[in-house]
Structure 1
Amino acid sequence: MPSPLFADRPVPGPAEPGTMDALITRTRRLRGDVDAVRRDTEVDDGNTLWRWQRALCDLAVRQLDQLGSHLDQLKAGRPDADGAPDRPARETSPGHDCSGPRLGRVGSGEWNLLTDEVSWSDELFLILGRDPESGPLTLDELPSLVHPDDQALLTAMVTDCLIDGKPMDGEFRIIRADGRVRVLHMMGEPILDTDGCTASMWAVLRDISALRHGEQTVRDSHDSLRREDQLARTEHRLVAELHEAVLPAWHGSSYLPRSGPGALDLAARRLPDTAHPATGGHWLDALELPCGESLLTIGELTLRGVAGASSMAMLLGALRGMAVAGIAPGALLGHLNQLLETSEQPALGSALCSRYAPETGTFSWAQAGHPAPLLFRDGTGHALTPPDGVLLGATSGAAYEQAEIQLRPGDLLVLHTDELPRGRVVELAPRIAGTRSARECAQLIVEESDRAERTDAACLMVIRIPG
């Protein structure tokens, strides 16, 4: 009879290298071959070697099933944040150690109930950390190596095997003489005499400590990912709520002033960063001032998440208050620089602050390390020459120059943050000239920006001068 460790069938051909599907296919084929060997094996209960070999086939099938499950999870990618580990964690003592016997080391033993003889393989002595010169342990002595919490489990397995003739298949922990805690898997059966009574018990034990440690590592990693996902979702929600509470209520497009002739046609868009959805530090704002002018601002902070959103809310509140008080854009940025410099959460920020006077068509603006507005007129586009201004929070006592430009009816300004592809937007000038509203122009720019790679969130404000 052929050895049960080998199948009399051709070895499957090599699968495509480097693909997860190929690994899964090969694992399933191997599992099927080993299972076929196990089913075809004729076991001689009187032959310890054959019993050991059959038990090895059972263990191999079990491990290949686990391997297939792990590969399926790996193919699926990042685990579902709401999912749970595949199996409950088995707690180990603080002394648990995954060094020592390698994964897969297997030993066997037999306990003769009629003669009280006990025989262990050399591997079993190594697994249990026992000196062969001390001899094997009897069934009564064996629990002395077992972890106190698992002694009842082992006793029940052995009792069911000896009294009820049930096969043994379970795991328990041992504490070796060197103090190391190991996890063992034991499989065994009773051997009956001619009268049907239990004459002896045999068992195959395998050290699976490294395997269980690896599974625990996977579970811990899964739990960490789940916690990170929950924190990220919470942070994203808080940032969104702060933006909704602080930024203008108008979405997409609006007019300033709200009514009357000569109102600016405005459109705004926020382009999120898909890798970091809770960016938080970007803002854009349009506010009608008591004097009849319009405040138009845009900016971003280096802080992210809730910290960035809260700092943004603080700056935007201060900016609005100072603008209502009549402070000009250049001086206003100087005050914002001082405010950010003394904040409990140090950060850098870029900003553009401007005012538009409808009576004269004057656009007054200042910038703090921010891209200059793009002006589109008569089918062409270019960036305005920026006045001097350093990043907010970069230095104490910074002064910010102010520039002015006379806008004409039909002119269009684009205010934006760094991540907008300026060159591509300027090239859109002929198509922008054909748009009929700020909203239509903003949509055109967004579509073009989506074709470019962005590494951060971006904000965009389009201002069309009536005419």
Structure 2
Amino acid sequence: MPSHLFADRPAAQPPERGSVDELITQTRRLRGDVDAVRRDAVVDEDDAQGRWQRALCDLAVHHLDDLGEHLGQLKEGLPPPPAEEAAAEPVSSAALPPDSGQGSLLSRVGSAEWNLLTDEVSWSEELFQIFGRSPESGPLSLDELPSMLFVEDQGLLTGMVTDCLVDGKPIDGEFRIVRTDGCVRTLHMMGEPVLDEDGGTASMWAVLRDVSELRRSQRAVRETRDSLQRQRHIAQTEHRLAVELQEAVLPPWRGSLQLPQGRSGALDLAAHYLPSASSALIGGGWYDALELPNGQSMLTVGDLTGHGVTATSGMAMLLGALRGMAVAGIEPGPLMGWLNQLLENSVQPSLGSAVCCRYNPATRTFTWSQAGHPAPLLFRGGAGRALTPPEGVLLGATSGATYGQEEEQLQPGDVLILHTDGLSARSVQFSETGGPDRLLALAPRFALARSAQDCVRTIVEEFGETEREDDACVLVARIGS
């Protein structure tokens, strides 16, 4: 009677393309079928062909286990090895040395039997190919076999063979060999003792499988996973450092700030930082307000290209230099020129945009300069407009650039808004998507605001949920009476 495994039944339908779950299910089902055949097999100790078939079933189970593991990793979404590693690996049999094991299952599996009573050794043709030996040179005895192994693996093989011959334990282990042609291969050995009528060990048979390619693939997957983990750790560390540096450099004040303190015409200030849609993108944007020794106030907003620690460290350098030059009394136009030279000569060249302003509360004069940056917006009497920008190119764009400056006479109740171009959804299309127009449209609400902080809340309500590709900074100054 034929085995139940061969009974008539509907043919399995091929899985849908890309259905990894279905492939895993079929692999598990096939593994169970092969395991059933292996358990049902009755092997006569004198039947070499039967032992060989039993060994092939064992190896088939190992292959299916490996396949199931790889499909599970594919389902989890592990990426392929990096391109440079993949390119370094042989990808076709033409590029491989002869008998490297990159072939069918049978070409990578060989059998051997060592007769302890007659000292006879028999190797299959495949085993000679695996070891890179010609059949004319003869098989290796158990004493000679360790000579082809790595020194580190010789003790492992000796221990397995001893346990098999003395204690009757099955062999199941791996070791590395150096073939006669110099190639290094990894072999998986499975074997059992063959007992005589008295229960003594008469011989030992084994099946050896070349698993070099499998182990290389597993190593590539493991190294890729480790590399991804390292990259994630580095990214998390850099993100944390960027956030800490940004928080350390930007002004610590929250809510409203009065500059200068206790004087007529003082500025009521408030600012806000809006992160990008991706929290990983910590950019080089900044805002700042500083009371100067002569009683005037410095306002600035800017942005440096790039993200992460590099951008935030560059921002810290520029902002520190800007504060120092402003305190030294340098006017906004010349100050921008010095910032351009500083950025041009920095170790890590980059581009930046900025606006720098000086406010004199005694005359309510607003003097400002810009470097490729959106102009400040002035709101008065329920209407708003962008100030006419003076000449100025991006910081770091050209050597020896000069920057002009403009003056604006302000009135009590005026509102000034300084912002970076990341405020809109796509900074490269800021002028097209209506970022400034959306701010100008808020003029009636700004006219009703009682403080700069109220204006900031209005801006955050309008732009806070926008899917920005870059972070943004907003600084609001309201002119006191």
TM norm. shorter chain > 0.5: yes
Distance 1:287 1:344, change over 3 A: same
Matching residue's letter, 2:270? L
1:189-268 pair list within 5 angstroms: 189-251=192-254, 253-257=255-259, 259-260=261-262, 262-268=266-272
Query: Following the alignment from structure 1 to structure 2, what is the Cα–Cα distance between the partners of residues 313 and 341?
Result: 16
Distance 1:415 1:62, change over 3 A: farther
Contact 2:271/2:287, CA 8 A, preserved across alignment: no
Of 307, 324, 328, 1:321 maps to 324
Secondary structure of 2:422's aligned partner: coil
Root-mean-square deviation (Å):
3.3
Distance 1:184 1:351, change over 3 A: same
2:15 pairs with 1:15 = yes
1:92-107 pair list within 5 angstroms: 100-102=100-102, 104=105, 105-107=108-110
Which 5+ residue runs of structure 1 have no aligned equivalent? 80-95
Distance 1:53 1:369, change over 3 A: farther
Distance 1:381 1:121, change over 3 A: farther
Residues matched between the structures, number: 449
Of 406, 425, 437, 1:426 maps to 437
- Give how far 1:441 is off: 4.5
Of 414, 418, 435, 2:417 maps to 414
Matching residue's letter, 1:255? L
Query: Following the alignment from structure 1 to structure 2, what is the Cα–Cα distance between the partners of residues 466 and 98?
Result: 87
Query: Following the alignment from structure 2 to structure 1, what is the Cα–Cα distance between the partners of residues 240 and 359?
Result: 34
Partner of 2:474: 460
Distance 1:165 1:11, change over 3 A: farther
Query: Following the alignment from structure 1 to structure 2, what is the Cα–Cα distance between the partners of residues 276 and 167?
Result: 54
Secondary structure of 2:423's aligned partner: coil
- After superposition, what is the alpha-carbon deviation per residue over 1:137-190, rounded to whole angstroms, capped at 9, x for unaligned? 222222222222111111111111111111110000011001111000011111
- Give how far 1:203 is off: 1.0
Query: Following the alignment from structure 1 to structure 2, what is the Cα–Cα distance between the partners of residues 56 and 450?
Result: 65
Which 5+ residue runs of structure 2 have no aligned equivalent? 80-95, 425-429
- Give how far 1:21 is off: 3.7
- Give how far 1:334 is off: 1.2
Contact 1:5/1:53, CA 8 A, preserved across alignment: no
- After superposition, what is the alpha-carbon deviation per residue over 1:248-289, rounded to whole angstroms, capped at 9, x for unaligned? 1124x322327547441312214146374454x322211122
- Give how far 1:191 is off: 1.5
- Give how far 1:209 is off: 0.6
Contact 2:282/2:471, CA 8 A, preserved across alignment: no
- After superposition, what is the alpha-carbon deviation per residue over 1:93-125, rounded to whole angstroms, capped at 9, x for unaligned? xxx999921164211122222233322222111
Q: If the length of structure 2 is used for normalisation, what is the TM-score? A: 0.82
2:195 pairs with 1:181 = no
Distance 1:427 1:308, change over 3 A: closer
Query: Following the alignment from structure 1 to structure 2, what is the Cα–Cα distance between the partners of residues 354 and 405?
Result: 11
Q: Which moved more, 1:386-395 or 1:256-265?
A: 256-265
Secondary structure of 1:256's aligned partner: strand
1:104-115 pair list within 5 angstroms: 104=105, 105-115=108-118
Contact 1:329/1:365, CA 8 A, preserved across alignment: yes
Contact 2:271/2:473, CA 8 A, preserved across alignment: no
Query: Following the alignment from structure 1 to structure 2, what is the Cα–Cα distance between the partners of residues 39 and 425?
Result: 77
Matching residue's letter, 1:289? L
Distance 1:277 1:30, change over 3 A: farther
Contact 1:318/1:336, CA 8 A, preserved across alignment: yes
- Higher helix fraction: Structure 1 or Structure 2? 2
Query: Following the alignment from structure 1 to structure 2, what is the Cα–Cα distance between the partners of residues 177 and 38?
Result: 35
Query: Following the alignment from structure 2 to structure 1, what is the Cα–Cα distance between the partners of residues 384 and 11?
Result: 69
Matching residue's letter, 1:45? E
- Give how far 1:404 is off: 2.7
Partner of 1:28: 28
- After superposition, what is the alpha-carbon deviation per residue over 1:176-214, rounded to whole angstroms, capped at 9, x for unaligned? 001111000011111122222222211111111111112
Contact 2:276/2:467, CA 8 A, preserved across alignment: no
Contact 2:423/2:471, CA 8 A, preserved across alignment: no
Matching residue's letter, 2:68? G
- Give how far 1:337 is off: 1.5
Matching residue's letter, 2:195? L
Partner of 1:89: none
Partner of 2:287: 284
- After superposition, what is the alpha-carbon deviation per residue over 1:402-458, rounded to whole angstroms, capped at 9, x for unaligned? 123344555443322232224145236555633645445445545654655544333
Matching residue's letter, 2:275? L
1:43-122 pair list within 5 angstroms: 43-77=43-77, 100-102=100-102, 104=105, 105-122=108-125
Secondary structure of 2:404's aligned partner: coil
Contact 1:4/1:38, CA 8 A, preserved across alignment: no
Q: If the length of structure 1 is used for normalisation, what is the TM-score? A: 0.84
Distance 1:5 1:153, change over 3 A: farther
Secondary structure of 1:326's aligned partner: coil
Matching residue's letter, 2:45? D
Secondary structure of 1:434's aligned partner: helix
Matching residue's letter, 2:470? D
Partner of 1:150: 153
